[in-house]
């Protein structure tokens, strides 16, 4: 096998010498559900689906937000798409590729934070079109994300604003209901952050952006229509969804008993007539439709409404659209979904509005009071890793049972992840899929694995014989890996983010992919506000979505944390490529006020030898070093996309941490990181995939280790693994006592360096089945490559022989003569 791998390396070497030209991807086939829809044709009738249910994706807790999935055999819908929703749908097998309609209740990051990642994933699945419904600012949001995603070719994104006519498809008719806060007219709109004064200038104006954008101009009653082109926090959009009536089922056996021509062509018009509720005359006898069909299923409705605060209560109560559905037998409302905080639910006006729907309407509550475990696989793997080393792999915090919601006079249910409400065929709650987290099951499963307990005991004996020196047992710095996967969030590994706790009251983030705040919540639980209060800076390596789309939620949640801690608000220092500013500015101007959260330092200004001519940036750099107790914060360009950076942090106490970001092996990083205490380097792909690593401008495992060895790093932590290595990457022959593998929620101190390599044996036992499967895949891939290489060489040799024979033929000699 080693000979085979040597051959493969030589083949890969030849490929790399030709440059990083990317292979053309084959065109994607149409998705199966789209082909089915094409077969049905555009002339579908409103016959209604047989099965429809709503399912909670995210129950409204602080780490997950509120999101709802609606299923029918014809369509799939998503209501709201906050950070982490895509990850939850992937984990719980809710097919993202089937989504062709996403409904957003308002333009706030808690509702749209996961939308950019979702759109990129839908594009990759080959979905030709997706329609977004909700606030008119969605168009500007799509334009804003193109700043870092590119032109989004291959998927058509359409926005259906709240002013558009009703939407109708095979499943239901959807009416959008705009609701404006009482505070919109005659008063200034107050942000959700009460401590920020009105009219405050964005800190960006004092940096090198040259912007003159003031804090949000607040509308009066005369400029309502002008808000269509800018952000409007006073608008939420509710959705009234009415299922099509489902025709009754034709009773075949009864038709046979009545002598009808079942099984012949003559039965077709009879079936069509009775299903449409018409009587028929057969052999002189009138037959009523109810004699041959079950009763039709009425088209019940459900309503999704968000009421962010008390300012929306009165407009909701007075809305004429809702009044048409309250207490009316001809338009029964089966379910109302309330995305509302407890303060709204306790308001007597809102309670009376709920009661007006009548006793037969169910009410689903989604808010921060709903305690539910969402990321079950994260809890499972962390519980099992904790058996190996409880300090390096601490247990995650479970959602604590929160107090019961307010007692209401209507039937209410608190949201839980995967809770279902079935609308058809029978209206009922279904809890069989609701997540339950049982750590004892996870532990028992691990202990039954072959050689697992033995390898853990052997590792512990080895550690007792070689204890860590006392001088190495410093508590800080403390490195916590929050996201160690690449590209898209998956059930085991979230996308890139690493927290470096510099001291008890100072911390910084290295990259900030989608869901970073959720990872902090699961790691720290009720202490998350304290951690956010210590956050001094964020480094964003480059503008790929898996490295920066969690930043806005960190900014918003940090402001909330500072309020709860009683600390004064000040902007967060963000070191990033200057292109990040364009994204933040566009989102700020059109969607939501965010610029006051940020004091940005261009990453290029921290390169060695860079000249900084802007006094404001110079001041921010000094503030960065002081806030983080750093002697030096240096960046360098790395070999990935344009404007991609790595960084090196040199602490006043002497230690040095180097972070690669995404890169191929990079000499500039080696030079910047000389004699590092710790190198955190991406290792996206396994050995043998060097050609693909060049195509995607990433590193293989051995390449990453090689960078660390050339850098003379004391220790190397590998992270940013391709999601094909869901639990653990394949080990390289170059692994040694200076190399470790990062996992989400792994906690590392410098004193753990001797311990981490010794964890490999228990890790191999825990993930033995996964490693075996990956090895089989690798061997099949290598055999395919060798076969292709041999066929290519055979073809070349045949061409040479043919050419030689042609030259030696008598005719060829005469021609040459």
Neighbours of 93 (CB within 10 A): 7
Mean pLDDT along residues 326-347: 91
pLDDT of residue 598: 97
Q: Give yes or no for a contact between 479 and 498, defined as CB atoms under 8 angstroms apart.
A: yes
Encoded tokens for 650: 């040199």
CA dist., res. 751 & res. 714, Å (int) = 12
pLDDT of residue 529: 97
| Average model confidence (pLDDT) across the chain | 87
Nearest to 732 by CA among 701, 688, 778, 694: 701
Encoded tokens for 666: 């990079």
CATH 3.60.15.10 placement within the chain: 46-182+232-243+298-430, 478-756
Peptide bond into 788 cis (omega under 30): no
Mean pLDDT along residues 588-610: 96
Percent of the chain scoring above 70 in pLDDT: 84
If you search the block for the tokens 């967060």, which residue do you land on? 572
Using pLDDT thresholds of 50, 70 and 90, give the confidence band for residue 622. very high
pLDDT of residue 189: 42
pLDDT of residue 21: 42
pLDDT of residue 349: 96
Bridging pattern class, strands 478-483 and 497-503: antiparallel
What's the CATH code, domain 478-756?
Answer: 3.60.15.10
Given a cut of 50, whether residue 226 has pLDDT beyond it is no
Residue 364 parent element (H or E): strand 362-366
pLDDT tens, 80-101?
Answer: 999 999 999 999 999 998 898 9
pLDDT tens, 646-678?
Answer: 999 999 999 999 999 999 999 999 999 999 999
Given a cut of 70, whether residue 224 has pLDDT beyond it is no
- Of the listed ranges 246-260, 369-383, 502-516, 599-613, the one predicted with least confidence: 246-260
Alpha carbon of residue 183 to chain centroid: 33
CA dist., res. 420 & res. 302, Å (int) = 13
Q: Which residues contact 259 (CB under 8 A, 6 or more apart)?
A: 282, 283
CA dist., res. 542 & res. 577, Å (int) = 6
Percent of the chain scoring above 90 in pLDDT: 68
Given a cut of 50, whether residue 243 has pLDDT beyond it is yes
* CB crowding 700-731: b at 16 or more within 10 Å, else e: bbbbbbbbbbebebbbbbbbbbbbbbbbbbbb
Q: Which comes out higher in pLDDT, residue 524 or 272? A: 524
3-state DSSP call for residue 424? strand
pLDDT tens, 151-206?
Answer: 888 899 999 999 888 999 999 999 999 999 997 644 434 333 333 332 333 333 33
Q: Which residues contact 331 (CB under 8 A, 6 or more apart)?
A: 242, 301, 324, 325
Using pLDDT thresholds of 50, 70 and 90, give the confidence band for residue 553. very high
CA dist., res. 140 & res. 112, Å (int) = 13
CA dist., res. 766 & res. 570, Å (int) = 45
> Is the model's pTM score more than 0.85?
yes
Mean pLDDT along residues 795-803: 69
Given a cut of 50, whether residue 69 has pLDDT beyond it is yes
Encoded tokens for 8: 């493969």
To the nearest 10 degrees (0 to 180), the angle between helices 452-465 and 439-447 is 90
What's the CATH code, domain 46-182+232-243+298-430?
Answer: 3.60.15.10
* CB crowding 165-195: b at 16 or more within 10 Å, else e: eebebbbbbbbbbbbbbebbeeeebebeeee
pLDDT of residue 401: 53
DSSP track, 80-146: ---TTHHHHHHHTT--GGGEEEEE-SSSSHHHHTTHHHHHHHHHHHT--EEEEEE-TTHHHHHHHHH
Mean pLDDT along residues 788-815: 68
Mean pLDDT along residues 231-242: 94
Q: Give yes or no for a contact between 656 and 674, defined as CB atoms under 8 angstroms apart.
A: no
Q: Give yes or no for a contact between 522 and 497, defined as CB atoms under 8 angstroms apart.
A: no
Mean pLDDT along residues 791-809: 69
pLDDT of residue 562: 98
């Amino acid at each position: 096998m080693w000979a085979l791998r040597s051959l493969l390396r030589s083949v890969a070497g030849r490929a790399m010498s030709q440059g990083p030209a990317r292979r053309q991807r084959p065109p994607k086939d149409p998705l199966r559900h789209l082909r089915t829809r094409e077969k049905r044709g555009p002339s579908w009738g409103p016959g209604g689906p047989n099965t429809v249910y709503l399912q909670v994706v995210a129950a409204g807790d602080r780490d997950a937000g509120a999101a709802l999935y609606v299923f029918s055999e014809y369509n799939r819908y998503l209501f709201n798409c906050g950070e982490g929703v895509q990850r939850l749908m992937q984990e719980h097998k809710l097919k993202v590729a089937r989504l062709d309609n996403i409904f957003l209740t308002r333009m706030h990051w808690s509702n749209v934070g996961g939308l950019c990642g979702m759109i990129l994933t839908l594009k990759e699945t080959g979905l030709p079109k997706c329609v977004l419904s909700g606030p008119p600012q969605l168009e500007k949001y799509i334009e804003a994300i193109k700043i870092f995603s590119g032109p989004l070719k291959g998927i058509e994104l359409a926005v259906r604003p709240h002013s558009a006519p009703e939407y109708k498809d095979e499943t239901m008719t959807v009416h959008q209901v705009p609701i404006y806060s009482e505070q919109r007219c005659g008063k200034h709109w107050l942000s959700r952050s009460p401590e920020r004064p009105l009219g405050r200038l964005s800190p960006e104006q004092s940096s090198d952006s040259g912007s003159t954008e003031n804090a949000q101009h607040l509308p009066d009653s005369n400029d309502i229509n002008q808000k269509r082109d800018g952000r409007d926090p006073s608008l939420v959009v509710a959705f009234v969804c009415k299922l099509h009536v489902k025709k009754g089922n034709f009773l075949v056996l009864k038709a046979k008993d009545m002598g009808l021509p079942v099984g012949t062509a003559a039965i077709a018009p009879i079936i069509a007539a009775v299903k449409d509720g018409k009587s028929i005359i057969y052999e002189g006898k009138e037959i009523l439709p109810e004699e041959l069909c079950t009763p039709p299923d009425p088209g019940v409705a459900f309503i999704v409404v968000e009421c962010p605060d008390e300012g929306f209560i009165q407009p909701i109560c007075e809305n004429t659209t809702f009044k048409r559905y309250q207490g009316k037998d001809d338009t029964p409302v089966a379910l109302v979904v309330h995305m509302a905080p407890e303060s709204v639910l306790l308001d007597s006006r809102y309670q009376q509005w709920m009661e007006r729907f009548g006793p037969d309407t169910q009410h689903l509550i989604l808010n921060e009071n709903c305690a539910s475990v969402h990321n079950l696989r994260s809890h499972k793997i962390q519980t099992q890793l904790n058996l190996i080393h409880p300090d390096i792999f601490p247990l995650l915090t479970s959602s604590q049972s929160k107090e019961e919601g307010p007692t209401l006079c209507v039937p209410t249910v608190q949201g839980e992840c995967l809770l279902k409400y079935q609308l058809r065929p029978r209206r009922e709650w279904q809890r069989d899929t609701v997540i339950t987290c049982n750590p004892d099951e996870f532990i028992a499963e691990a202990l039954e694995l072959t050689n697992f307990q033995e390898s853990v005991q052997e590792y512990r004996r080895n550690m007792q014989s070689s204890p860590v020196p006392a001088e190495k047992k410093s508590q800080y710095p403390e490195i916590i890996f929050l996201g160690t996967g690449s590209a898209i969030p998956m059930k085991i590994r979230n996308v890139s983010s690493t927290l470096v706790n510099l001291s008890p009251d100072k911390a910084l983030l290295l990259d900030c992919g989608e869901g970073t705040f959720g990872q902090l919540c699961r790691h720290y639980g009720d202490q998350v506000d304290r951690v956010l209060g210590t956050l001094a800076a964020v480094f964003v390596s480059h503008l790929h979505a898996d490295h920066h789309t969690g930043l806005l939620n960190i900014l918003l949640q940090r402001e909330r944390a500072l309020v709860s801690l009683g600390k004064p608000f000040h902007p967060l220092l963000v070191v990033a490529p200057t292109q990040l500013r364009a994204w933040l500015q566009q989102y700020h101007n059109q969607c939501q006020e965010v610029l006051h959260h940020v004091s940005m330092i261009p990453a290029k200004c921290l390169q060695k030898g860079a000249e900084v001519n802007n006094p404001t940036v110079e001041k921010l750099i000094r503030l960065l070093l002081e806030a983080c107790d750093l002697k030096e914060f240096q960046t360098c360009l790395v070999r990935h996309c344009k404007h991609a950076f790595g960084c090196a942090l040199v602490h006043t106490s002497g230690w040095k941490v180097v972070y690669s970001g995404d890169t191929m092996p990079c000499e500039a990083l080696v030079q910047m990181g000389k004699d590092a205490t710790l190198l955190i380097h991406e290792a996206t792909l396994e050995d043998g995939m060097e050609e693909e690593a060049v195509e995607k401008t990433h590193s293989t495992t051995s390449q990453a280790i090689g960078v660390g060895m050339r850098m003379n790093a004391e220790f190397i932590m590998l992270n940013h693994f391709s999601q094909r290595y869901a639990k653990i990457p394949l080990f390289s022959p170059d692994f040694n006592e200076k190399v470790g593998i990062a996992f989400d929620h792994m906690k590392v101190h410098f004193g753990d360096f001797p311990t981490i390599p010794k964890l490999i044996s228990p890790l191999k036992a825990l993930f033995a089945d996964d490693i075996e499967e990956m090895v089989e895949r690798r061997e099949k891939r290598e055999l395919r490559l060798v076969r292709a290489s041999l066929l290519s060489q055979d073809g070349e040799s045949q061409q040479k022989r043919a050419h030689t024979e042609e030259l030696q033929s008598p005719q060829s000699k005469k021609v040459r003569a």
